[in-house]
A and B are shown apart, each in its own frame.
Chain A
């Protein structure tokens, strides 16, 4: 955003080119590609005629909500990353692909985030925030499946923890190959502090969205699969 700020309202929000050195950029592109390939392989098994369109819409929703920067401190804002949200709604494997599509569209069409640093951004936001958020949901499975209130509370925590984890991802990348000689402890403290605040917003948005979808169509919520008392008529021999 620094390089290309315009007078318009929405500013860019992802890592610019030039912040990481070339070897680090290459390493995290490799991690991103391998991670997304694994996700695609697993996603194939889970996508069906209902989850595939749901995943497409979840992708668009994450793009839309990422545009809404909310204030966290005077002079600083935050925006949704979306990892926990997609993990709850469509699962971590499909969900990581949803966030990755958002990041690719943002980088290619909207010049938001550098192309060289896109791999690192995918690692932080599509992989780390999604899988850490999902880890929270799994750890709180008892709460998640007890009631809609439990699901909403777990979604909030997943959003909060996933956001801080994604921020730590940047700190690690910066420690390995940061381009500027800025004190790492300062970067760590600022990233975690700011993203703890942003994580509260992330948690609230995640909880509100998950709560709304669970109220209308609980059968479309991945985290509730196998728990909802949905009666299904199956004929003998049908496996899927």
Chain B
């Protein structure tokens, strides 16, 4: 494996460790009667928990949403017991692909295996990513649609869509909801970009190697 590829893969894998410490997504709710939170009341999503953007944010959001009949924000989700393992897997897989490429496959002609390993890492990343977004969408849908019909406003708002946006900004009655990556989200993009760069670098190098071989 080439030095550059190696470096890119190691960095791509290890940066993922940061995800265990910072949330990767945030939903901010901005309401006119909350001037004290200029960045909104925030739900921050991490690998193992939902946290508030500050002390009491989640309680306040629950209180605001209870009129509509939204369930209280979950302390536990099945996702939280799976996500840390996925990320661990990505870190390990990335490092193993480097180790395999470096230690075992020193012969140039087997270099295609390197390429396949990295390709697998990138694809795996993408699949988890898409699955994650799908899961996020489902959670959001459930949060917005599984209303407690005995709550004061549930019937009044029936048919209105209270789902927070997947990404971007959306007006929900008096509240502007923003859904955007948190620090961990940018780490994910960075890691994916580095992995992809490693793949393309390795691919181009491999093509060049094949051409050279052909010419010989």
- Same assembly: no
Residues in B lying within 8 Å of A, measured CB to CB: none
Residues in A lying within 8 Å of B, measured CB to CB: none
